[in-house]
Structure 1
Amino acid sequence: MSDPVTGQVTDEVTDEQFVDGLPKVELHVHLEGSMLPATLLRLARRHGVDHLPTDLDALRAYYEFRDFDHFIEVYLAAVQVLRDEEDFRLLARETALGLAAQRVRYAEITFTPFLHVQRGIDPAVVFAGVEAGRLDAEREAGIQVRWITDIPGLPGTDNVTSGERTLELALAHGGDGVIALGLGGPEIGVPRPQFGPVFTAARDAGLHCVPHAGETTGPRTIWDSLEYLHAERIGHGTSALGDPALVEHLSRHRIPLEVSPTSNLCTGAVASYGVHPLPEMIAQGLQVNLNSDDPPMFNTTLRAEYLHALRSLGLSRQQVFDVAAAAVEHSFLPADGKERLRAEFTAAAADLGVRPAAPAGS
Structure 2
Amino acid sequence: MSLAPQDTALRTWVRRLPKAELHLHIEGTLEPELMFELAARNGVALPYADVDAVRAAYQFTDLQSFLDLYYAGASVLMTEQDFYDLTMAYLRRIHADGVVHAEIMFDPQTHTHRGIPIETVFAGLARALREARDTLGISSYLLLSFLRHLSQDDAFATLESALPLRDAYQDLWIGIGLDSAELGNPPEKFADIYARCAELGFMLVAHAGEEGPADYVRTALDTLHVARIDHGVRSSDDPALLQTLIQRQIPLTVCPLSNLKLAVVSRLADHNLAQLLRAGVLVTINSDDPAYFGGYLLDNYLACAQALDLSHDELVTLAANSLNASFLPIAAKTRLLDQLTLAATQA
TM-score, length basis structure 2: 0.94
8 Å CA contact 1:310, 1:320 repeated in 2: yes
With over 3 angstroms needed to count, the CA separation of the structure-2 counterparts of 1:53 and 1:12, relative to structure 1, is closer
Shift of 1:284: 1.6
Name the aligned partner's letter for residue 135 of structure 1: R
Name the aligned partner's letter for residue 155 of structure 2: G
Indicate whether 1:290 and 2:282 are aligned.
no
- Aligned twin of 1:149: 144
3-state SS of paired residue (2:17): coil
Indicate whether 1:115 and 2:115 are aligned.
no
3-state SS of paired residue (2:233): coil
Name the aligned partner's letter for residue 252 of structure 1: Q
1:297-316 alignment to 2 at 5 Å? Answer: 297-316=292-311
1:253-264 alignment to 2 at 5 Å? Answer: 253-264=248-259
8 Å CA contact 1:28, 1:108 repeated in 2: yes
Q: Cα deviation per residue 1:215-267 (whole Å; 9 max; x = unaligned)?
A: 00111110110111111110000100000010011111110100110000111
8 Å CA contact 1:192, 1:221 repeated in 2: yes
Name the aligned partner's letter for residue 152 of structure 1: L
Instruction: Report the Cα distance in structure 2 between the residues aligned to 1:254 and 1:263, rounded to whole angstroms.
Output: 23
- Judge which range, 84-93 or 12-21, deviates more: 12-21
Indicate whether 1:166 and 2:158 are aligned.
yes
8 Å CA contact 1:66, 1:267 repeated in 2: yes
The percentage of aligned residue pairs carrying the same residue is: 35
3-state SS of paired residue (1:351): coil
3-state SS of paired residue (1:209): strand
Shift of 1:335: 1.7
- Judge which range, 297-306 or 62-71, deviates more: 62-71
Name the aligned partner's letter for residue 277 of structure 2: I
Instruction: Report the Cα distance in structure 2 between the residues aligned to 1:74 and 1:312, rounded to whole angstroms.
Output: 28
8 Å CA contact 2:118, 2:162 repeated in 1: no
Shift of 1:349: 2.2
Shift of 1:12: 10
With over 3 angstroms needed to count, the CA separation of the structure-2 counterparts of 1:13 and 1:256, relative to structure 1, is same
Name the aligned partner's letter for residue 98 of structure 1: R
- Aligned twin of 2:3: none
Q: Cα deviation per residue 1:86-115 (whole Å; 9 max; x = unaligned)?
A: 111111221122111211100001101121
Structure 1 residue ranges without an equivalent (≥5):
1-10, 353-362
- Aligned twin of 2:217: 222
Instruction: Report the Cα distance in structure 2 between the residues aligned to 1:266 and 1:242, rounded to whole angstroms.
Output: 21
1:175-190 alignment to 2 at 5 Å? Answer: 175-176=169-170, 177-190=172-185
Q: Cα deviation per residue 1:42-84 (whole Å; 9 max; x = unaligned)?
A: 0112222223323221111122212211001111111100011
Structure 2 residue ranges without an equivalent (≥5):
1-5
Name the aligned partner's letter for residue 40 of structure 2: R
Shift of 1:167: 2.5
Indicate whether 1:203 and 2:198 are aligned.
yes
Instruction: Report the Cα distance in structure 2 between the residues aligned to 1:239 and 1:18, rounded to whole angstroms.
Output: 31
Question: What's the Cα RMSD here?
Answer: 1.6
- Aligned twin of 1:278: 273
Instruction: Report the Cα distance in structure 2 between the residues aligned to 1:169 and 1:213, rounded to whole angstroms.
Output: 26
Instruction: Report the Cα distance in structure 2 between the residues aligned to 1:55 and 1:254, rounded to whole angstroms.
Output: 46
- Judge which range, 141-150 or 47-56, deviates more: 47-56
- Aligned twin of 2:17: 22
1:338-357 alignment to 2 at 5 Å? Answer: 338-352=333-347
3-state SS of paired residue (1:121): coil
With over 3 angstroms needed to count, the CA separation of the structure-2 counterparts of 1:77 and 1:190, relative to structure 1, is same
- Aligned twin of 1:4: none
Aligned residue pairs: how many? 340
1:242-257 alignment to 2 at 5 Å? Answer: 242-257=237-252
8 Å CA contact 1:170, 1:178 repeated in 2: no
Instruction: Report the Cα distance in structure 1 between the residues aligned to 2:8 and 2:90, rounded to whole angstroms.
Output: 29
- Aligned twin of 1:233: 228
Instruction: Report the Cα distance in structure 2 between the residues aligned to 1:81 and 1:13, rounded to whole angstroms.
Output: 36
Shift of 1:169: 3.9
Instruction: Report the Cα distance in structure 1 between the residues aligned to 2:8 and 2:211, rounded to whole angstroms.
Output: 38
With over 3 angstroms needed to count, the CA separation of the structure-2 counterparts of 1:13 and 1:189, relative to structure 1, is closer
Name the aligned partner's letter for residue 239 of structure 1: R
